[in-house]
Homo-oligomer: A and B are copies of this chain.
């Protein structure tokens, strides 16, 4: 490896013994040049560490090879996990992913979308804030940029939506809980930051009605994404209030459930399905840590792999075709019931 600095493609082309446009062509698609030419370039590539200037490249290309990945809250392991999958898929497919987190704030989401727009990305994988999103901004963005929405659906926006069938999650869990014990009450936030809470509540109400049981919903106070803390604090409040109608509780998501488990522990309640336990607690999401709670959390898990794969594939297809789908596609994946010992 020579230490000689190569300034630009012109110089590098000289080292290869080919012309600059040919080198340019090579970088756009190594297969588009003759095998012999390719070898010469690749040999030079090993002797000198030259990289095309990304800014010059992107300025001149109509569309870049960038892909934006936007999640509402990256410190949530659920999104961290999905982002990890997506990033890897993008790299494998030869794109340059850029990762953004809205940190739960509308202004930041808007700002990210604006930044993204000026990046001329080939496409964007967007998990919007949901209710907290600025609908008009997101809508306009999706018109301008090929976008796959995931996790959180905003009706009519984006070319494709890929996510989980949230009512199915709740319905399956309610059914399971009813068959194995007392019908559950429902623990959720009054003003949830995460997008799918509304659908889950409705799913609970519908499922309970279908099973012929009276629903009971407890709404936790609190704002923001500190879900475990809210689950703990409000869980204690709920337990102390004596309002609980049932010894089975379904939490709107695993993070609330983790908090609620802590509340139970603090109140000396034994959680689980065995005879000597006082209460059953279930969650929803298949949170990466849900198998390590005490007791391990019974939950309905997203099909992470499928959601990431499908989102990425959909976007890649759109990019390759060059045209957006005529009608909006929606793909919902079922969740998988994971029976552990908490419920």
Contact = CB atoms under 8 A, between A and B. Distances in A.
A305 B215 CA distance: 43
Interface in A294-325: 294-296
Interface in A26-62: 51, 53-56, 58-59
Contact of A84 (B103, B115, B262, B289): B103
Contact of A261 (B51, B228, B291, B294): B294
The interface residues of chain A, by DSSP majority, are classed as helix
The range of chain A's interface size is 35 or more
B293 A294 contact: yes
Contacts of A296: 262
Nearest to A260: B292
Contacts of A55: 54-56, 58-59, 120
* Most B-side CB within 10 Å, residue of A55, A77, A259, A293: A55
Contact of A88 (B54, B58, B103, B291): B103
B74 A84 contact: yes
A87 B100 CA distance: 10
B293 A118 contact: no
B265 A54 contact: no
Contacts of A229: 291-292
Interface in A224-282: 228-229, 231-232, 258-259, 261-262, 265
B293 A51 contact: no
Contacts of A118: 51, 53-54
Nearest to A56: B59
A10 interface: no
A133 interface: no
Contacts of A83: 74-75
A44 B56 CA distance: 28
A120 B54 CA distance: 10
Given A87-B103, A99-B99, 20 more contacts: A51-B114, A53-B118, A54-B119, A55-B56, A55-B59, A74-B74, A75-B84, A75-B288, A77-B77, A77-B80, A84-B103, A99-B101, A228-B292, A231-B292, A232-B292, A258-B292, A262-B294, A265-B295, A289-B289, A293-B294
